[in-house]
A and B are shown apart, each in its own frame.
Chain A
Amino acid sequence: MIEFRNATVIYPGGLKALKNVSLTIEDGEFIVVVGLSGAGKSTMLRAINGLVPLAEGSVKVSGREVRGATPSDLREIRSDIGMIFQTFNLVNRSTVINNVLVGRLSMVPRWRSTFGLWPKADMETALQSLERVGIIDKAYERASNLSGGQQQRVGIARALAQEPELILADEPVASLDPVTSHMVMRDLQRINRELGITTLINLHFLDLARDYGKRLIGLRDGELVFDGDIANVDEDVFRGIYGRAITPEDLLETAGP
């Protein structure tokens, strides 16, 4: 369970990226966060795993307070949260398996990771994660040799290797073409259903949000402007979130490359 209580984020320079957000996310939910770029979607996700510090309020993950956590507490919280990025954030020169093993770093003794002596069990977890996203055959290839969609799957496998309670996906399909976008979204949906991992996804395409989301959170200028079942979402709600009418650029089908 994740609880936001009046969470506020202020960046150095004074920009208020998140204003007074309060909401609760139950275990196993599949949530889509929408909003214009700069509305605070990425900030909200990063406030959950403490990559961005809160200025006021609180964020609790499974009852553990993120704000003001000691570095080692913070690492423990993070080890239960998988994160997926728009630009995949893989080490291009490393092999796929080494990229996935990054997800196990917080679980192994430091001397083992220093010399690359991975315990059998951790290696097994990493390989199974790759199997789950269907690219086990690429395990020993360089990450840079993979296509965009495959690279994002390595990113998902890295998150899965953490055996997380929660997955945060920050614009996971923004760098992908429409077909691959749908494949990646389906992977995330499947993982949520089969493993019961709570999933939070930032999206800026409204049709994708409608196709895959259950619960929708709308942000505008850092404020929470909508929180509810996606079935109740219509044009007016989107207009409220975006502050303008929907244009073709807001839909994957019409905006895709």
Chain B
Amino acid sequence: MTAPPEITTFEISPTDRPAPPPRSGPFFVVVLLIGLAFAVAGVVSGGIAVVWGLASGVLAAAALRWRGLTSLPGESLAIVFASALGLGLSGWALGQRGSSIEGTTALLAALGWLLPGAAIGFAVWRNSDRLRLTSVWVSAVGWALAAFFVFLWAEGLGATEGLSRTAIQAGEIVELTPTFYATSGFFVALIGAGVTLSLLVGSPALPAVAGSITFTLFAASQIGFSVIKVASEADKLNVLAQEFWPAEWKWANLTGQPVANQIVEPMVETMQIAVVGATVGCLVALPIAFLASKATTFNAPTFWGSRLFMNVIRAIPDLFWAMIFVSAVGFGSPFAGALAMIMFSLGIMAKLLSETVDGVDPGPLEASRATGAVHSQVVQYSAMPQVLPHYVAYALYIFELNIRASVVIGIVGAGGIGRLLDEQRVFFQWDRVMAIAIVIWVSVIVIEMVSVTVRRRLV
């Protein structure tokens, strides 16, 4: 047995290690804690704003201290003081409101939140070597903006529930409830602390998540949507089964014709609308797409002009186009439907293709320009071949979209099977609606399968 070779060891000096970049994850807990701090404080405040601020300040400072984000007792004191003063001011401003919380009141109330925002931002800045003093201002403004929007939406959040409806309508000034303080405080602090701490992490994930949650709750309350409602109405799905099943396939129309062929004929019309719309739309989109790309455009006015045209066309939903053309061409006209589908296809194709043209290799374009070719030749011979396969794939995709879109445009009177759907819908003939829906469903699936197969072969 030979002696093992001597192993050289490295002297490891921990001071050489770079500090790890901060991650959002651990900070999320702090953000949540600060949010809870303001909520708990709201509950214990008994409706008095200064108490609300004082308690929030203490709890929030404790949460920050726990993660080592503040160091001096002075900083904690500053947070407590700023919070008490700021929330006191905010509460006073809210107390001045009229029948509901409106813009000016919300703005005034939001200004108070600049103080805790600035204090917490200042403490974090003091204890970080990565932040500039700007972060204090950003933090303060972040808190105030959050407060502004939350107060504007506060009624939607159910935060003014404690106020009686009559009191609000009479414009009476009522004491703000602890519930109001708790809910609004929670969301403001969640977003505000998210902003402050995201500055440390250098990613906007924290306020984005907090803001999304708040906005979701608000939006849901505005349209009367809630998990509870979904759960309680789930049993209504039975109604669906009873109403829709079995589907009725044969019914007589006004002229006494049996209906089997009445579904087929509009469906064929739908296909025709989709074909014509896709073909013309994709063709017209071609020059617009090249003009709307920096790589192949003619000059600045044509570039911006075609981009504006393209974006405006795309900004109007397909059914609105159908409605506009129906009022122009006449109710029940498939021609209006075809025009609508042209605009729909045109917008999407121009957008997709111009983005593809942006990415072409500019070398061949320079080469053909150097031979003295005219602009249209340069585009046709050097740019077009590069994007052609994409163009074909997009065209097939747009044909698919057109089928889906053209089955419904009949609802507004633009021809196709949608017209039939609308006729039966307004008379609550759900079993017939079911039959039509099945036809639509099957055709969409079949077209999609064919189109996907072809696209896969092509590209």
Chains A and B in contact, CB within 8 Å: yes
Q: Cβ of B381 and Cβ of A91 under 8 Å apart?
A: yes
In the complex, how many angstroms separate the beta carbon of B430 from the nearest chain A beta carbon?
A: 52
Contact pick for B371, options A92, A114, A158, CB 8 Å: A158
Residue A110 CB within 8 A of the other chain: yes
- Quick one: which of A60-81 are within 8 Å of B by CB? 74-81
From residue A100, how far is it (CB to closest CB) to chain B in Å?
A: 11
Which residues of B have CB within 8 Å of A172?
none
Q: List B contacts of A162 (CB < 8 A).
A: 371-372
* Chain A residue contacts of B366, Cβ below 8 A: 51, 85, 89
Closest beta carbon of chain B to A74's beta carbon, Å: 8
A101 to B381, CA, bound (A): 9
Chain A CB within 8 A of B46 CB:
no
Q: B99 at interface (Cβ–Cβ under 8 A)?
A: no
B residues 373-413 touching A (CB-CB < 8 Å): 373-374, 376-377, 380-382, 385-386, 388-389
**B385 close to A91 (CB less than 8 A):** yes
Check if A76 sits within 8 Å of B372, measured CB to CB: yes
A158 to B370, CA, bound (A): 11
Interface code A93-132, partner B: CB below 8 Å = 1, 0 otherwise? Answer: 1100010011101100010011000000000000000000
Q: Which residues of B contact A18 (CB under 8 A)?
A: none
CB of A90 within 8 A of chain B? Answer: yes
Contact of B370 among A51, A87, A91, A101 (CB under 8 A): A51
Beyond A87-B363, A89-B367, A90-B364, is A79–B372 a contact (Cβ under 8 Å)? Answer: yes
Residues of chain B with a CB closer than 8 A to A222's CB: none
A49 near B: Cβ within 8 Å? yes
How many of chain A's residues touch chain B, expressed as a range? Answer: 20 to 34
B369 at interface, CB cutoff 8 A: yes
A89 touches B376 (CB 8 A): no
Chain B residues with Cβ below 8 Å from A103 are 371
**Interface residue? B24 (CB, 8 A):** no
Q: A113-B380, A113-B381 are in contact. Are A105 and B368 (CB under 8 A)?
A: yes
Residues of chain B contacted by A49 (CB below 8 angstroms): 370
A105–B377 CB distance below 8 A: yes
Task: Judge whether A77 and B370 touch: CB under 8 Å.
Answer: no
Q: Tell me, in angstroms, the Cα distance from A256 to B263 when the chains sit together.
A: 72
User: Within the assembled complex, what's the spacing in Å between the Cα atoms of A75 and B371?
Assistant: 8
Q: How far is the CA of A49 from the CA of B380 in the complex (A)?
A: 21
Determine whether the beta carbon of A158 is less than 8 Å from that of B373.
Answer: no
Return the contact of A106 from the options B364, B373, B380, B385 (Cβ within 8 A).
Answer: B373
**Residue pair A75, B372 in contact (C-beta under 8 Å):** yes
Given A93-B388, A105-B368, A85-B363 contact (CB < 8 Å): yes
Specify the chain B residue showing the minimal Cβ separation from A51: B370
Q: Is B374 touching A83 in the complex (CB atoms < 8 A)?
A: no
**B361 CB to closest chain A CB, in angstroms?**
8
B372 in contact with A106 (CB, 8 Å):
yes
Q: A156-179 vs B: 1/0 string, CB under 8 Å?
A: 001000100000100000000000
Task: Determine whether A82 belongs to the interface, using a CB cutoff of 8 Å to chain B.
Answer: yes
Contact B382 A91 (CB under 8 A): yes
Q: Which of B343-370 contact A (CB under 8 A)?
A: 361, 363-364, 366-370
Decide yes or no: A114 and B376 within 8 Å by CB, A85-B367, A102-B382, A105-B381 being known contacts: yes
CB atoms of B371 and A79 under 8 A apart: yes
Tell me which residues across on chain A come within 8 A of B386, comparing CB atoms.
91-93
Shortest beta-carbon distance from A176 to chain B in Å:
16
The smallest beta-carbon distance between A138 and chain B, in angstroms, is: 17
Instruction: Give Cα distance in the complex from A49 to B369, angstroms.
Output: 10
- Report yes or no: B364 in contact with A81, Cβ–Cβ below 8 A: no
Cβ contact within 8 Å between B370 and A83 = yes
- Residues on B with C-beta less than 8 A from A82 are 371
| Interface residues of B, Cβ cutoff 8 Å to A | 361, 363-364, 366-374, 376-377, 380-382, 385-386, 388-389
- A49-B370, A74-B372, A106-B373 are known; give 20 further A-B pairs, CB within 8 A: A51-B366, A51-B370, A76-B372, A78-B372, A81-B372, A89-B361, A91-B386, A92-B361, A93-B389, A94-B385, A102-B364, A102-B367, A102-B368, A102-B373, A106-B374, A114-B376, A114-B380, A155-B367, A162-B372, A168-B370
Q: Hey, which bits of chain A sit against chain B, CB under 8 A?
A: 49, 51, 74-83, 85, 87-94, 98, 101-103, 105-106, 110, 113-114, 155, 158, 162, 168
Cross-chain pairs A/B with CB under 8 angstroms, 29 sampled? A49-B370, A75-B374, A76-B372, A77-B372, A83-B367, A83-B370, A85-B363, A87-B363, A88-B363, A89-B363, A89-B364, A89-B367, A91-B381, A92-B386, A94-B385, A102-B367, A102-B373, A103-B371, A105-B371, A105-B377, A106-B371, A106-B373, A106-B374, A110-B377, A113-B377, A113-B380, A155-B367, A158-B367, A162-B371
